[in-house]
Amino acid sequence: MCFSCNSDDDLNDEVLNEEQEIDLTAFLEDEIPQFTGLLNNEVLSMKFGPSAYQIASSFSSNPDDDSQRLLQSALIENSGDNYFKLITPFFDVDSQEEFNGVFGLGNKDIGYYYDDFFFDFQIDGERYQTCGPQDGGELEVLQVQEITDAGNMTFLFVWFKLSNLNLVDYCTLNNDYVLEEGLILARFYGYN
């Protein structure tokens, strides 16, 4: 599989919003799975670590065709109370074109489980999800890299930037929330 990354010059031009330009260089050099953002202007931060969050990477296959998969990357608090999950749309792992559609650089569709990138997370007992197409919400793949860990397992690391993500309370369509200025470093398994 081929991967590409933005050049250093392009990275310095990245903008989280029109009013605030930030340098993403440190984030793009990090290899520790994490999720940060503002949920209704409150800071959220989850990062893999032995005394905080554990990482889970998994995939589900279509029972009729093992090459059709959706992948999940999750950060789960040691107590299990809080978590963050990013789930890819189904794609054919044998197709370079479909792989690039999911993990190629650029903007991705956010919305329904199975068809789009799907977010599911819980903070202090409140569960939030994307439950349909996003009007103005953006999820952008900034960088993709295969990394082999100390146990000789190879994972796909993907650096994302998100903005204006509309969330609802457990898909009940009650209580609208907005997730802004998000950065995600997700680790996926089962991508090939």
The rounded distance, in Å, linking the Cα atoms of 73 and 66 is 19
Tokens 């997370």, located at residue? 121
Q: For 80-118, how does the pLDDT look when each residue is reduced to its tens digit (9 = 90+)? A: 889 999 999 999 999 999 999 999 999 999 888 888 999
The rounded distance, in Å, linking the Cα atoms of 16 and 82 is 25
Strand partners, 15: 21
The average confidence (pLDDT) of the chain is 83
Domain positions in the chain = 42-188
Q: For 128-178, how does the pLDDT look when each residue is reduced to its tens digit (9 = 90+)? A: 888 777 667 789 999 999 999 888 999 999 999 998 887 777 666 666 788
Instruction: Give residue 20's pLDDT.
Output: 52
Segment 44-49 shows an average pLDDT of 91
Cα angle for residues 43, 34, 130 (degrees, 5° grid): 70
**Exposed e or buried b per residue across 49-65, where buried means at least 16 C-beta atoms within 10 angstroms of its C-beta:** eeeebebebebeeeeee
Using CB atoms within 10 Å of the CB of residue 70, give its burial: 0 to 12 exposed, 13 to 18 middle, 19+ buried.
Answer: buried
Give 6 or 89, the one with higher predicted confidence: 89
Instruction: Give residue 132's pLDDT.
Output: 73
Strand partners, 185: 34, 159
Asked whether the beta carbons of 113 and 87 are under 8 A apart, the reply is: yes
Confidence of residue 21 (pLDDT cuts 50, 70, 90): low
Give me the phi and psi of 71, to 5 degrees please. Answer: -115, 150
Q: Which has the closest alpha carbon to 163: 87, 107, 112, 82?
A: 107
Segment 15-22 shows an average pLDDT of 48
The rounded distance, in Å, linking the Cα atoms of 105 and 128 is 26
Instruction: Give residue 106's pLDDT.
Output: 96
pLDDT at 10 over 50: no
Segment 76-80 shows an average pLDDT of 87
Asked whether the beta carbons of 110 and 135 are under 8 A apart, the reply is: no
Sorted by sequence, the CB contacts under 8 Å of residue 26 that are 6+ apart come out as: none
Asked whether the beta carbons of 49 and 76 are under 8 A apart, the reply is: no
Asked whether the beta carbons of 53 and 47 are under 8 A apart, the reply is: yes
